[in-house]
Structure 1
């Protein structure tokens, strides 16, 4: 990279009509994070002096998404092409003197390293650096004619290309790096004498070379500059991203029994010697320590799983779930904003919300922490070594002391002291012979056609 300050202009003014969505195209999630925020994270690693997102329709959604990220919003309305879109950032970058990256919000996977490589090619003699790629199917991409050193002789949009130019395999991703001192004067000279009557950003290449400055192209893979304009394209990029991440996880010591069935979020962190069984989904914010096992068909988001813990199958861990070392959470258990101390167990059919559960506690099947009264949430505290019998309801706020036992089927509404036994259920009454007499009476009524 150069030592120049860096600014990024991200174009996101398109309507994204092919998405057929009320959500702005660049806010559709990829691996659990809006694609625009993927791109901004890569930009942030460059420590830029400024970031500008150019928006059009649904601008309020983008403004809300980038709030607090140090990003400025510029508006393109009406929309007259990519060069016109970049021009809308000029006011926001007034006084900026350095290198400018021009990126696209629907091309989210461009790496920081590639951005740095583009910036590193700028110098006093090089006005524009273009990021090119060679797809299997060049389709309707703009073409780049360049020599063996990467110096660009010509760039042309597909609609305006001749048959010979369309035969070129090097395509324009649209991404560029330009010195700010060159960018704004070049944009001011772009015309719209083309098939679409729009102001094309690639035209600055020809203008720069006519001024005697160089424009060069560096190449990357098609996967890195994959654009997302439809739900199908989003699914395709997601699948490619997941395939790469699965390989990375396995390379780092994670066992995936059926890799193609496990879905990671952008920030999933998993330690060594962790085993993930088939059909597990990770939402954002998951951390798993060494030696843990996640059994099949579990859905985990915003949770921390401790060393040698065992989770699943069919477990739902929601944000705020924290499982200590050697904990066990079994089938059909849901946990939300609850901490399980080391060695605690909830083996089946349980909901634990807004709770603190001590080390070694055992939560019986069917136990529920009743944490919500329709208006407010309340917390349940279960002490170390406590035993909660099956089918118990703990009505928060309530505390079960260390070592206490709650009898099966109890509804606990008051605190239970340490080492006590608490039961709260009706007395059992037995009437000998009643069931046989009942069946006989009902059978007789049915036979006679009478109804009770």
Structure 2
């Protein structure tokens, strides 16, 4: 597939750009023990959406400023690797103070001296890279000291207001987007509160202007904090340009400050994900009920029925069919696989042309090899099911290696746990296991062996052997009739005369006298000397 020049621009870094992400906030309105930026949106911590944009744009590195639960946030962002560095804000003294903590990341290394900085919030997962590139383009085109992203809301209460210069104050030839100041909601006058244009919290700032301006911040305000927004007025006072780009889609500016906003963001992200896979050739029978996490990959011509949930880093191959009520987490599913209704898979692998379900539970560590079949109410854990092998009904298989072409009968159980330790079961190729079999681990069943129904196998089985391990059947004729009579107070019928099992089997055939040759042979055997008998033995 080829990309246009516009597409190539979306995948290239911006020369001279450094990125700062503010991720230190407590998030009191979330009412959570988890740091706000770590709350998941479509299966990913929200800060990672912003970090993706930063890593795609920054040529001069990315600094993530952490604070509340800093160790946990650091662990998540450092796992991204690359040019991401972490700065710490030990005391939350405002957004200006937070950005100031990133200075050592960029000034401590000679080659990291950005010509401009992109400042992002870690709680804006809906922001897109295309919008940020437009913001950067405006900043460069207008030679601005500060360029900010704004949105116009029907109800702007609670947000910082963007106060623009009056038209008569614009310099000759200036663009019509000049900004005079940003006023925080708690510091706004009644007239300023009527303004519906709000500050989204995304900025591009000139590299030589940013940190000197931050050093001059004054915390004398309603919050007693160092506001990053005050650098806008500083730039205006210096006669420098402050530009603003209004969002076309206000959803992109949604910052997550509450559980309500988290749910709204989740809905937007999941809608975007569904649209992306529909455009990539995946069929969603009911898109609204299909939940696909951001880290999932799906092959072309795969069909997802209603109420399917795909989570984590799951990979689904091509031409696979996933029926309703299925939940798959961190699994690799091959091509042309069919998964019937109400299955749960986790951290497992299913190879091409396999058939699973309904009601199959794959716990972590399962590998179903090519053309495997796993059916109704089968649970598996840490099992390799060989190519073409079948476990079609009502079985538990745990800690086992099962060869190719094996039949697992209904009700088969691997007894892998003795109360203290787990043990392995090994089943060779081509083994036939009947119904209701217990394989008591550790045990090995040799290739081609047959295990009869109802057997409890406690010892290794040789290649091509037959194992029968069951109690002989006892039949008591008339027992049920006598029991019913006793329960109803009636006189029970007399018990029939006991008949030995041997006589019962022989009674079906007419009795024959022993032939003379056989009788003669017995008489000769009795007359043989002791020495000869011992030789025969």
TM-score, normalized by length of structure 2?
A: 0.76
Residue 365 in 1 paired to residue 393 in 2? yes
- The 1-side partners of 2:488 and 2:264 are apart by 63
Residue 203 in 1 paired to residue 214 in 2? no
Aligned residue for 1:64, secondary structure, equals helix
Structure ID, larger Rg: 2
Higher RCO, 1 vs 2 (CA within 8 Å, ≥6 residues apart): 1
CA contact (8 A) 1:132 1:170 kept: yes
For the structure 1 residues 6 and 440, does the alpha-carbon distance in structure 2 shift closer, same or farther, using more than 3 Å as the test?
farther
Aligned length: 436
For the structure 1 residues 438 and 29, does the alpha-carbon distance in structure 2 shift closer, same or farther, using more than 3 Å as the test?
farther
Residue 84 in 1 paired to residue 97 in 2? yes
- The 1-side partners of 2:486 and 2:56 are apart by 80
- Deviation string 1:385-409 (CA, Å, 9 cap, x unpaired) is 2111111123452322222211111
CA contact (8 A) 1:352 1:369 kept: yes
Matched residue, 1:430: 474
Aligned residue for 2:202, secondary structure, equals strand
Residue 120 in 1 paired to residue 137 in 2? yes
Matched residue, 1:130: 148
Matched residue, 1:53: 64
- The 1-side partners of 2:489 and 2:72 are apart by 70
- The 2-side partners of 1:132 and 1:20 are apart by 27
Residue 296 in 1 paired to residue 324 in 2? yes
For the structure 1 residues 34 and 48, does the alpha-carbon distance in structure 2 shift closer, same or farther, using more than 3 Å as the test?
farther
**Higher helix residue share:** 2
Matched residue, 1:252: 280
- Deviation string 1:262-293 (CA, Å, 9 cap, x unpaired) is 11111112222222122221111111122211
CA contact (8 A) 1:345 1:363 kept: yes
Among 428, 434, 437, which residue is 1:410 paired with?
A: 437
Among 192, 200, 205, which residue is 1:165 paired with?
A: 192
Query: What are the equivalent positions in structure 2 for 1:168-317 lying under 5 Å apart?
Result: 168-220=195-247, 221-317=249-345
CA contact (8 A) 2:384 2:402 kept: yes
Residue 383 in 1 paired to residue 403 in 2? yes
Among 93, 96, 113, which residue is 1:97 paired with?
A: 113
Moved over 6 A (4+): none
Structure 2 unaligned residues grouped into runs of 5+ = 1-8, 168-174, 417-422, 457-469, 491-537
Q: Offset at 1:442? A: 5.5
For the structure 1 residues 10 and 322, does the alpha-carbon distance in structure 2 shift closer, same or farther, using more than 3 Å as the test?
same
Q: Offset at 1:428? A: 4.9
Aligned-residue CA RMSD (Å): 2.4
Aligned residue for 2:272, secondary structure, equals helix
For the structure 1 residues 47 and 355, does the alpha-carbon distance in structure 2 shift closer, same or farther, using more than 3 Å as the test?
farther
- The 2-side partners of 1:291 and 1:136 are apart by 46
For the structure 1 residues 166 and 438, does the alpha-carbon distance in structure 2 shift closer, same or farther, using more than 3 Å as the test?
same
Query: What are the equivalent positions in structure 2 for 1:68-79 lying under 5 Å apart?
Result: 68-70=79-81, 71-79=84-92
TM-score, normalized by length of structure 1?
A: 0.89
Structure 1 unaligned residues grouped into runs of 5+ = 372-379, 446-452
